[in-house]
Structure 1
Amino acid sequence: MTSSTVGEEFEADLVTRYGSPLYVYDLDRLRAAHRDLREALPEPSRIYYSLKANPHPGLVGALREAGARAEITSRGELASALEAGCPAGELLYSGPGKTPGELDEAVLAGVRSFSVESFGDLERIGAAANARGAVADCALRINAAGAPGSAGLRMTGSASQFGFDLDVLLDAPEQLLVAGTRIVGLHFFPLTNATDEEGLCAELVQSIRTAAELRETLGIELRLVDLGGGFAAPYAVPGDRPRYPGLRASVSKALDESLPGWRDGAPVVAFESGRYLVGDSGRLLCTVTDIKESRGTSYAVLDSGINHLGGLAGLGRLLPMSAKPLREQPLDGVVATGAPGPEGAERVTLAGPLCTPADVLGRAVPLPGLSPGTVLAFPNVGAYGLTASLLGFLGHPAPAEVVVDGGEVVSVTRLALQRHQVTGPGPRATQHTAVKELT
């Protein structure tokens, strides 16, 4: 693994310059993750970066330069991908619930590749393409049964809003003939955050075999087989990304057996990743504002909570998190109005500033001796950090987001919620604005 070029003193200086809380993204770590994934995958193959993990244009642009394409699921992600310089014709638009307005905007922008979740989704994609005199290349997302692998979150393999159930698809293949569309591939993504290499390989091998069977049964030309991903990464706790030393050989063997033209691009084989590519590139820096005791529990109240590091808390998926002090001294201008934690208090609950008891980033975290003004750092939050959080709740401003490359700051922005008068098909709900240094 490549270590970060961002040291703690440098991060402390960033907090002084741009305020707290603050996200820091290190492009050196992002590029290292892309190299590691590239080395683990069959060659040749395509990597899509899933913007749902982090749509920051600085990260998207760096991955584009490294060779990844972008997979998007919304107007906002489309805007971020285009801002990052991704060619519209190379984007893959996926996800359930695509509206006619979203699809029209995507086709107008030049998007031509779509993952299809249902017959109704296919009809809407075709209508949008047909209205613009275009043809949409469509990959059918498959909800295959009997998936063998274990994962942090299962995406398919049971009743799901994602993808075609095989029996439904095979019972009505004539419904795939839709004006404005061309079926060119299959899309699989049965799991995310896979817990072991053996299970992940089993999932990918099964998807390859299913793709070969469907090509024959449906009589379709396979130009693209997107095998999804499931590549794991630690979240808000210390740790390294896993390596997958046996994946390339195992998956290449299955491709040779079932889809022998893949080495010549017939079909193109693709994989997707979000958390693996950007997870360890990001850290959240925040500050202790108060220390208190309540009925035997020590609390450190922070200036950041689930509004900035939600971990999908709104979906009931608040995961264990951990932080460590970046420095012990209070920030300039922070008045230490609370007392330090009581002597002997080894563990504290890390609470945020929101008016809800759900705003907790960690319970019984081993952080003795915290004081108001202490800066804490949460590691491995480059994925599913800010934009997976309850950003709008209570109206606290978003943290600044600092992008660092080679130990130098290359951009500082803040995600600002905007209210627009609705005058057309979907104004952008968010935008990045430049952040000035504090004076």
Structure 2
Amino acid sequence: MPRARDEVLHARLAAEYGTPLYVYDLDDVAEAKADLFSSLPEGVDLYYALKANPHPDIVRILGEDGPGAPGCGTEISSTGELAAVLAAGLSAAGCLYTGPGKTARELDEAIRLGVRLFSTDSVTDVRRLDSVAARRGVRVETLLRVNAASASATTSIRMTGTPSQFGFDSEDLPGTLAELRADAADSGGLRAVDITGMHFFPLSNTTDEDNLVGEFRNTLAEAAELSRVHELPLRYLDIGGGFSVPYGVPGGRTRYPKLRTELEAALDVEFPHWRDGSPRIAFESGRYLAGGSGTLLATVTNVKVSRGRKFVITDAGINTFGGMSGLGRLLPVAVEPAGPGEPVERASLVGPLCTPGDVLGREIELPELAPGDLLAIPNAGAYGPTASLLMFLGRPAPTEVTVRDGAVVSASRLVHSRSPR
């Protein structure tokens, strides 16, 4: 959408719904899905990780078959995310349920609602899944998440090759499989779980295509070796993601022009029958699919100078956009740049909360601003409200509006209130 059209739309929506306000462009979501599928080998599966943004309109667009791209499956890690999948009109049968701390209660709820594919991270996790599925009288499948011993990529957020709560350490798989197979052979052991593949997630958010290709090659080689040496069945192989889009700053989605060709070559070597679905290859992505769709609109409430430093105070703080800042993944944000010839200044962009930690950007470049001005923080479609400190100080959650071709599709707000006794 052209910038001038964006500004008009944003001003209209801010006037109608107030700020802080998230605006999600569903056309961008559909475009991101098509872009990513075009970068991956034909015929593979792609799971949308709801942790990035569980808004039902976004989930629905990604789950639908569309021009140039089939629908995505859904990767979920809670019954709340499963509820969002169902609210979007999608089936629980299309979910991959992941996470290292699944409880018996949530597994029971997921299985009751129709989830049949899980990723497990420990022997305890497999046994708990088996117990719940057996009690429900159904069979389920699990992928063993693998924490590989080695890594290839040298950039981005590392998700493998170190001690972790995620996955089975690859060097321990012989003992793990022996234990699980003993369970399966024992009449009192595994009764309702079929181990049908492996799940890897080695890295996140890489802009370097060579690193991404190298990591995927490394993962495929390790998966093939583990399957061969340990006679581990591979009906499914999920090799994760790592696709990048800027977070809270201007810029476009990363392009991966060589990725499809490189992946097809690697798959042909390691899994010669993959084109026939043996194994079924899957990828997953959250931020790449949703991140570029979102703009956070905030209103300047005050501008002040303290001991020579300027502070621009807005009605959006870390309770609105900033839950990831404690992990070092947010600061600094950047607002949409000033127009050509417009003056800029350096100031700290802060929120309304009563804590010095409520900082969205420290000493960043901003247009000259005054109380009442509207700010737009781009690429805020992933890790927004649901990754923020929504309960802190009891301030209202931001409104979320979805649009297609400039028309409002829905408007909603998360509620976090307690009724007085």
| TM-score, reference length from structure 2 | 0.92
2:166 is the counterpart of 1:156: no
Q: 2:73 matched to 1:59?
A: no
State the alpha-carbon separation in 2 of the partners of residues 6 and 138 from structure 1: 47
Shift of 1:317: 3.6
> How far apart are residue 306 of structure 1 and its match?
0.5
C-alpha distance in 2 between matches for 1:326 and 1:223? 52
- Secondary structure of the corresponding residue to residue 360 of structure 2: strand
1:311 & 1:232 partners in 2: Cα distance? 19
* Matching of residues 383-422 of structure 1 within 5 Å: 383-417=382-416, 419=418
Tell me which residue corresponds to 2:187.
none
Give the deviation of 1:325 after TM superposition. Answer: 7.3
Match of 1:50 in 2: 49
Structure 2 CA distance for aligned equivalents of residues 406 and 4 of structure 1 = 14
**3-state SS of 1:70 partner:** strand
Count of residue pairs the alignment pairs up: 404
Give the aligned residue type for 1:386. Answer: P
Distance 1:148 1:314 in 2: 27
Cα RMSD after superposing both structures: 1.9
- Distance change in 2, residues 1:418/1:127 (3 Å): farther
Question: Structure 2 CA distance, aligned partners of 1:386 and 1:362?
Answer: 18
Pairing 1:2-401 to 2, within 5 Å after superposition: 7-66=6-65, 67-176=71-180, 177=184, 178-324=190-336, 346-401=345-400
Go from structure 1 to structure 2 and tell me whether the alpha carbon gap of 1:418 and 1:155 turns closer, same or farther (over 3 Å shift).
farther
Match of 1:430 in 2: none
Structure 1, 282-291 or 192-201: larger mean CA deviation = 192-201
Alignment partners' CA distance in 1, 2:131 and 2:370: 60
TM-score normalised according to structure 1 size: 0.89
Q: Structure 1, residues 30-70: CA drift from partner, whole Å, max 9, x if none?
A: 11111110000011100100000001111001100141110
Helix, strand or coil for the counterpart of 2:204?
strand
Show structure 2 runs of 5+ residues with no match. Answer: 66-70, 185-189
Contact 1:311 1:319 in 2 (8 A): no
Amino acid at match of 2:324: L
Q: Deviations over 1:106-128 (max 9, x none)?
A: 01111000001111111111111
Report the Cα offset of residue 211 of structure 1: 1.4
Alpha-carbon separation, structure 2, partners of 1:149 and 1:383: 23
In structure 1, C-alpha distance between the alignment counterparts of 2:225 and 2:4, rounded to whole Å: 47
Asked if the contact 1:194–1:230 (Cα under 8 Å) also holds between the matched residues in 2, the reply is yes
Q: Give the counterpart letter for 1:220 in structure 2.
A: L
Q: Give the conservation status (yes or no) of the 8 Å contact 1:325–1:374.
A: no
Say if 1:5 and 1:26, in contact at 8 Å, map to a contact too. Answer: no
The answer for unaligned runs of 5 or more in structure 1 is 328-343, 422-439
CA distance in 2, matches of 1:37, 1:179: 38
Equivalent-residue separation in structure 1 for 2:224 and 2:148 (angstroms): 13
| Aligned counterparts of 1:219 and 1:87: Cα–Cα separation in 2 | 32
CA distance in 1, matches of 2:3, 2:230: 49
Matched letter for residue 242 of structure 1: T
Deviation at 1:418, TM superposition (A): 5.1
Q: Is the 8 A contact 1:130 1:180 kept in 2?
A: yes
> Secondary structure in 1 aligned to 2:64?
helix
Distance 1:325 1:233, change over 3 A: closer
1:407 is displaced (CA, Å) by 1.3
Give deviations 1:212-237, integer Å, cap 9, x for gaps.
11222222321110010000110111
Q: Secondary structure at the match of 1:324?
A: coil
1:348 and 1:368 in contact (8 A); partners too: no
User: Structure 1 pair 420/138, CA: closer, same or farther in 2 (3 Å)?
Assistant: farther
Match in the other structure for 1:334: none
Q: For residues 76-111 of structure 1, what are the alpha-carbon distances to aligned partners after superposition, in whole Å with 9 as ceiling and x for unaligned?
A: 101101111221111000011001111111011110
Q: Following the alignment from structure 2 to structure 1, what is the Cα–Cα distance between the partners of residues 337 and 323?
A: 21
What letter matches 2:126 in structure 1? L
1:433 corresponding residue in structure 2: none
Identity, % of aligned positions: 52
Please give the secondary structure, in 2, of the residue aligned with 1:208: helix
Contact 2:338/2:344 (8 A) holds in 1: no
Q: Is the 8 A contact 1:150 1:196 kept in 2?
A: no
Q: Distance in 1 between matches of 2:295 and 2:218?
A: 36
- 4+ residue runs over 4 A deviation: 2-6, 418-421
